[in-house]
């Protein structure tokens, strides 16, 4: 390929990566955490909020009385299942009619249980929504609300991401065989980072292509459906699923929830349709109306799940008729399985624990890829800026990009770690857990960004990395304190949930190593780098910082 073409593709790769890199870092880092969404949810749920499961049919009286007495629950409610038993609680939500389809920020949560004398007791719940908040950060690249405009922004970022992937492969093709496994470790840090960037990018390319293309579809699925409706269905798609209009006098009488089949019968019908299906929830909808349905949700360990939460079968809760198996895990038709595979590949809803860990590691590697890409751009600007000068002053755009990269990326890590650790301390002390988790994350995030711009990349990076390490250490320390001092309000969980604390401890060690390595670079690295204390901060902060104890490396020594 001609050298001028390579230069064009390299420029495209560089600038699309720079524009989208920090947003993608947040999306990938938060996305790596959401792979273990359910363990994180259980780890962050206080024991007092846990309810002992009961045999399936014991919740039938609660279901009937709740739907009979509470119209909001009859319109839509969930009964969660666990290990073949039921959690004796009916849960439902009341959404803000002005909110978007995916915006849960103003949703109110309610639950019904049986109190003394067998009476239904309804209470408003204030769940932490911690895992959902992390998922929102992942889905809308760090923006606080999963709204239509934010998803469109995410879609633009993912289009740039796709362009960066393709152009990066084109740039690497001429030297792919020679440089694929080349990792030249030495004093030339830029070369070492570039080699690592290339290896990680090529090895994980299929994963990144799936993430990029599926995310674009997720961002613009409403527009895609609208176009499909006009092009294929001549605008009549919605009419296919519309309910017939009836006058007030023609409406059938309300149905009696006492006539519904018991949960055991509903689960048995689905398991007969899909052997190996393991139910985890019953989602009732419009149970007193003529189109009453219940979705039996669950997983099949040997099959692909259409969603991260699993798949479902839709039944008539009164007759038990199977209304739809299009999304039933283990019993989908070939066309539906093909479509579900795109969701499964993005959400790791297949293959079990081994695939979850693979996606977790690939997500962290992807976050590092974008962080490292920005650092490579900064280092390239250093070499280009030098020219004939032995000690140039870095351009303001280079200094600002370095500060933004450090503040955004490390601030995201620190903020997520601290808001996770706070899950052990907030219950019982504050009422609106969800608002506190959001506030903690953004307070740490924006403070880190402000610090990075004020102090500059070199002087801010090391303290921010130690901050991230300390915030991440707070996760296992909170569990340890809950075990040693249960009176503090924190709690400790055993078994598989200790994996959350062990993984956080591994993250502490990695961040501490990065902080020490960065400190050496700041003190002893090339003096013309933005990572050197010799370079001024973006807004003049920290100019009087102490000089390094040893002379810096000659700026030309690493080229």
Give residue-wise pLDDT tens across range 125-136.
Answer: 888 889 999 999
Burial status of residue 321 (CB atoms within 10 A of its CB: 0-12, 13-18, 19 or more): exposed
Q: SS3 of 559, please? A: coil
**Measured between alpha carbons, how far is 164 from 14 in angstroms, rounded to an integer?**
7
Predicted confidence at residue 284, as pLDDT, reads 97
Both tokens of residue 150?
């934010």
Predicted confidence at residue 32, as pLDDT, reads 96
**Measured between alpha carbons, how far is 65 from 118 in angstroms, rounded to an integer?**
9
Long-range contacts of 555-559 (CB under 8 A, 24+ apart): 555/386, 555/390, 555/391, 555/526, 555/527, 555/528, 555/529, 556/390, 557/187, 557/526, 558/187, 558/188, 558/189, 558/190, 558/526, 559/188, 559/383
**Measured between alpha carbons, how far is 244 from 255 in angstroms, rounded to an integer?**
18
Q: SS3 of 141, please? A: coil
If phi > 0 it is left, if psi is from -120 to 50 it is alpha, else beta; for residue 357 that is: alpha
Give residue-wise pLDDT tens across range 197-215.
Answer: 778 888 889 999 999 988 9
**Measured between alpha carbons, how far is 527 from 521 in angstroms, rounded to an integer?**
10
**Measured between alpha carbons, how far is 481 from 314 in angstroms, rounded to an integer?**
45
**Cβ–Cβ under 8 Å, residues 183 and 203:** no
Q: Is the pTM of this model over 0.85?
A: yes
Q: Is residue 428 part of a domain?
A: yes
Total domains, the chain: 1
Handedness of CA 27, 28, 30, 33 (dihedral sign): positive
**Measured between alpha carbons, how far is 426 from 298 in angstroms, rounded to an integer?**
31
Partners of residue 123 on adjacent β-strands = 111
Give residue-wise pLDDT tens across range 53-102.
Answer: 999 989 999 999 999 999 999 999 999 999 889 999 999 999 877 766 66
**Measured between alpha carbons, how far is 119 from 300 in angstroms, rounded to an integer?**
36
Q: Is residue 535 part of a domain?
A: yes
| Rg value, the chain, Cα | 27
**Measured between alpha carbons, how far is 366 from 207 in angstroms, rounded to an integer?**
9
Q: Is residue 403 part of a domain?
A: yes
Q: SS3 of 244, please? A: coil
CA atoms within 13 A on the CB side of 226: 4
Predicted confidence at residue 557, as pLDDT, reads 45
Q: Is residue 526 part of a domain?
A: yes
Handedness of CA 462, 463, 466, 468 (dihedral sign): negative
Q: SS3 of 403, please? A: helix
Strands, E, within 95-145: which ranges?
Answer: 108-114, 120-125
Q: Is residue 467 part of a domain?
A: yes
Handedness of CA 210, 212, 214, 215 (dihedral sign): positive
Q: Is residue 20 part of a domain?
A: no
**Cβ–Cβ under 8 Å, residues 330 and 275:** yes
Predicted confidence at residue 97, as pLDDT, reads 75
Containing 45, the helix (H) or strand (E) segment is: none
Q: What is the pLDDT along the chain (559 residues), one digit of tens a residue?
A: 567 777 887 888 888 888 899 999 999 999 999 999 989 998 988 886 777 899 998 999 999 999 999 999 999 999 999 988 999 999 999 987 776 666 676 788 999 999 887 889 999 888 888 999 999 999 999 988 888 888 899 999 999 999 998 888 887 777 665 666 565 665 666 667 677 777 888 888 999 999 998 898 888 877 877 787 677 766 665 555 455 555 555 667 889 999 999 999 999 999 999 999 999 999 999 999 999 999 999 998 888 888 888 899 999 999 999 999 988 988 888 888 888 888 888 988 888 889 999 999 999 999 999 998 888 888 777 666 555 555 556 677 788 888 999 999 999 999 999 999 999 999 988 888 989 999 999 999 999 999 999 998 889 999 999 999 999 999 999 999 988 888 787 888 766 678 899 999 999 999 999 999 889 888 877 776 777 776 656 776 643 343 444 444 444 444 4
Q: Domain residues for 431?
A: 387-559
Predicted confidence at residue 306, as pLDDT, reads 82
CA dihedral 147, 152, 156, 161 (to 10 degrees): 50
Name residues whose C-beta falls within 8 Å of residue 34's C-beta, 6 or more positions apart in sequence. 131, 134, 135, 138, 308
Predicted confidence at residue 338, as pLDDT, reads 83
Predicted confidence at residue 504, as pLDDT, reads 96
Q: Is residue 240 part of a domain?
A: no
**Cβ–Cβ under 8 Å, residues 413 and 29:** yes
**Cβ–Cβ under 8 Å, residues 511 and 468:** yes
Give residue-wise pLDDT tens across range 438-454.
Answer: 999 999 999 999 999 99
CA dihedral 265, 270, 272, 278 (to 10 degrees): -100
Q: Is residue 271 part of a domain?
A: no
Helix 457-484 / helix 498-524 crossing angle, nearest 10 deg = 150
Both tokens of residue 448?
């880190």
Q: Smallest Cα–Cα separation from 85: which of 316, 267, 318?
A: 267
């Amino acid at each position: 390929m001609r050298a001028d073409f390579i230069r064009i593709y390299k420029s495209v790769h560089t600038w699309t990566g720079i524009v989208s890199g920090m947003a993608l870092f947040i999306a990938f880092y938060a996305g790596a955490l959401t792979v273990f969404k359910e363990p994180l949810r259980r780890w962050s749920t206080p024991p007092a909020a846990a309810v002992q499961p009961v045999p399936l049919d014991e919740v039938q009286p609660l279901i009937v009385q709740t739907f009979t007495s509470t119209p909001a629950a009859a319109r839509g409610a969930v009964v969660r299942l666990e290990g073949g038993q039921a959690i004796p609680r009916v849960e439902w939500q009341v959404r803000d009619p002005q909110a978007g389809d995916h915006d849960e920020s103003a949703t109110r949560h309610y639950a019904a249980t049986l109190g003394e004398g067998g009476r239904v007791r309804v209470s408003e719940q204030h769940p932490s929504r911690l895992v959902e908040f992390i998922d929102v950060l992942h889905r809308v690249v760090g923006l606080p609300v999963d709204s239509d405009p934010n998803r469109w922004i995410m879609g633009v970022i993912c289009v740039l991401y796709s362009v960066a992937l393709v152009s990066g492969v084109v740039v690497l093709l001429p030297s792919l065989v020679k440089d694929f496994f080349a990792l030249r470790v030495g004093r030339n840090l830029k070369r070492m980072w570039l080699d690592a960037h290339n290896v990680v990018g090529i090895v994980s390319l299929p994963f990144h292509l799936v993430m990029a293309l599926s995310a674009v579809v997720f961002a613009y699925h409403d527009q895609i459906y609208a176009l499909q409706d006009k092009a294929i269905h001549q605008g009549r798609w919605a009419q296919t699923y519309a309910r017939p209009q009836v006058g007030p006098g023609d409406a059938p009488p309300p149905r009696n929830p006492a006539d519904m089949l018991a949960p055991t019968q509903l689960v048995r019908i689905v398991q007969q349709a899909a052997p190996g299906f393991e139910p985890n929830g019953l989602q009732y909808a419009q149970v007193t109306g003529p189109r009453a349905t219940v979705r039996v949700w669950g997983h099949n360990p040997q099959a692909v799940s259409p969603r991260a939460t699993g798949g479902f079968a839709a039944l008539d809760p009164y007759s038990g008729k199977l209304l739809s198996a299009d999304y039933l895990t283990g019993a989908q038709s070939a066309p539906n399985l093909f479509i579900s595979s795109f969701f499964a590949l993005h959400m790791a809803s297949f293959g079990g624990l081994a695939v979850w860990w693979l996606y977790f590691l690939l997500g962290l590697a992807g976050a590092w890829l974008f962080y490292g890409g920005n650092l490579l751009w900064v280092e390239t600007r250093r070499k280009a800026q030098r020219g004939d000068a032995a000690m140039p002053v870095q351009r303001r755009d280079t200094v600002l990009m370095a500060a933004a990269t450090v503040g955004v990326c490390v601030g995201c890590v620190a903020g997520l770690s601290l808001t996770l650790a706070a899950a052990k301390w907030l219950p019982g002390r504050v009422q609106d857990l969800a608002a506190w988790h959001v506030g903690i994350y953004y307070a740490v995030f924006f403070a880190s960004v402000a610090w990075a711009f004020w102090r500059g990349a070199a002087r801010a990076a090391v303290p921010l990395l130690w901050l991230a390490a300390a915030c991440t250490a707070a996760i296992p320390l909170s569990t340890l304190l809950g075990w040693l001092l249960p009176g503090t309000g924190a709690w400790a969980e055993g078994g598989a949930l200790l994996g959350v604390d062990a993984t956080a401890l591994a993250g502490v060690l990695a961040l501490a190593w990065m902080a020490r390595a960065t400190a050496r670079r700041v003190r002893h690295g090339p003096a013309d780098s933005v990572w050197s204390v010799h370079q001024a901060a973006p807004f003049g902060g920290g100019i009087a910082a102490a000089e390094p104890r040893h002379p810096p490396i000659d700026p030309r020594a690493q080229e």
